[in-house]
Structure 1
Amino acid sequence: MKTAELRKKDVAGLQAEVKDLQKAHFNLRMQKATQQLNNTAQLRETRRAIARAKTLIAEKQAAAK
């Protein structure tokens, strides 16, 4: 998901997105462990998407204070 799309969400929506991305990342790690994952770049993409969403959560919470 693009940063512009994430910025439109509120904190609760971003937290739900982080939770979904973490589940997806876990599933990708399990696929890698069982050698079923062909595109290992997906691990990096999901990890960075999680960081992007967490950064936006921190920004929104800092702006609210």
Structure 2
Amino acid sequence: MPLPKIEDARNLNDEDLQEQIVSVKRELFQLRFQKGTRQLEKPHQFKHARHRLAQLMTVERERQLQQKDEG
């Protein structure tokens, strides 16, 4: 499975962006829980989830700065 593209995150509206951030944070929590209980089967999922979270938070910050410059 290839890493997600940042353009996918940029195409989301603000509400969907927030929902995705919460979803990915929840997924990371579940992955850490599985790792702690030695039930994690696919460790590469950490990389994908962290990468996606970084993209989403970058887009969120870009939008915050854009609103600040406009306001």
Where on the TM-score scale, by shorter chain, does this alignment land: which range? 0.7 to 0.9
Residue 48 (1) aligns with residue 45 (2) = no
Structure 2 counterpart of 1:28: 31
Q: d(CA) in 2 for partners of 1:38 and 1:19?
A: 23
Scaled by the length of structure 1, the TM-score of the pair is 0.88
Gaps of 5+ in 1: none
Gaps of 5+ in 2: none
Q: Which structure has the larger Rg?
A: 2
Scaled by the length of structure 2, the TM-score of the pair is 0.81
Structure 2 counterpart of 1:39: 42
Q: d(CA) in 2 for partners of 1:27 and 1:15?
A: 19
How many residue pairs match? The answer is 65
Identity of matched residues, %: 29
Residue 7 (1) aligns with residue 30 (2) = no
